[in-house]
Amino acid sequence: MMPKLTLYSRKDCCLCAEMKAVIDEIAAKIPVEIDEIDIDQSIELRAQFAEEIPVLYIDGRKSFKFRVTTKQLETRLRRHSRRGAEMAGISR
């Protein structure tokens, strides 16, 4: 199963641009579904995340806030895919 990455961000946010660049770099190596959400398009999201962006969720679980390196994200995704394979009864 392909992991779903959800990035909560906003325009004119340098940390958001940095995290998006890391995600794009990883997506070139590992198949992922990417959903980028601009928190300023929703009053509820703006209230929920306020100054806590960027935030990256992997399959609905909060995984990184503010910064992530390529190595950190790749490690987390590989661990995530191994765990998913184990749960499905597939050995690697």
Which of 36, 39, 12, 38 lies closest to 23, judged by CA? 36
> How far is it, in rounded angstroms, from Cα 68 to Cα 43?
26
Contact of 6 with 80, CB cutoff 8 Å: no
Q: What is the CATH number of domain 4-87?
A: 3.40.30.10
pLDDT tens for 11-44 read 999 999 999 999 999 999 999 999 999 999 999 9
Contact of 41 with 14, CB cutoff 8 Å: no
Contact of 53 with 9, CB cutoff 8 Å: yes
Task: Give me the residue label for tokens 């004119």.
Answer: 12
User: Could you tell me the residue ranges of all domains in the chain?
Assistant: 4-87
pTM for the model stands at: 0.87
